[in-house]
A and B are shown apart, each in its own frame.
Chain A
């Protein structure tokens, strides 16, 4: 099976802009989670989607949003980018009934200037 894929892999934006990141989960996985990883804060949970519904949400401002499509592909959007949003954004999918087993994609490295 192909692994989790994310696009784009690298992105440079300026403050105030918005960005959309895409994630395709492993075939058959309906749960998709998003994480932000920074040297200062570590790996932090953003949100989880299952069958097109947001199931859980981490402690991030409303500028961070996401959605999931009927084919389980997911997108996350960050509006009004801030310098502090520079990070590695990771998407992970998990098999049904096994949320403890997260299969991560390679991530999108976002740099906000």
Chain B
């Protein structure tokens, strides 16, 4: 089985840096993905970590530590448009490759 834990809500101000954590428990592990979803919109793929370390894509970075079963999404130079829900997701390498999503973190960016 798989389970992912992430905070339900995070608030920050424009221009700040925010980190959204994700811890997981899986019977196997294939990699950690992150998605962004604005209210009323569809999830949008942000990043994927298959190996330990940091992946950087513009203002967004994602980190993975397989030994700690932990990852995070780092958002820098926050903008109002970053207010959205952020989901971490894993695929079990136990054979079924069923993707499991966390419950999502609602990021609220204040001016």
Query: Which of A44, A45, A48, A92 has the most CB atoms of chain B within a 10 A radius of its CB?
Result: A45
Q: Is the interface of A mostly helix, strand, loop or mixed?
A: strand
Tally A residues with Cβ within 8 Å of B.
Answer: 21
List residues of chain B with CB within 8 A of the CB of A48: 97
Inter-chain CB contacts under 8 Å: number: 51
Query: Which of A42, A56, A100 has the most CB atoms of chain B within a 10 A radius of its CB?
Result: A100
| A43, CB-defined interface residue at 8 Å | yes
**What's the Cα separation between A107 and B50 when bound, in Å?**
28
| A49, CB-defined interface residue at 8 Å | no
Instruction: Give me the interface of A with B, judged by CB distance under 8 Å.
Output: 33, 42-45, 48, 55-58, 90, 92, 99-107
Chosen A-B contacts, 24 in total, with CB atoms closer than 8 Å, are: A42-B102, A43-B87, A43-B104, A45-B98, A45-B99, A45-B100, A55-B97, A56-B97, A56-B98, A58-B98, A90-B42, A92-B43, A99-B91, A99-B97, A100-B31, A100-B33, A100-B48, A100-B50, A100-B89, A101-B48, A102-B99, A104-B43, A106-B41, A107-B42
Instruction: Give me the interface of B with A, judged by CB distance under 8 Å.
Output: 30-31, 33, 35, 41-45, 48, 50, 87, 89, 91, 96-104
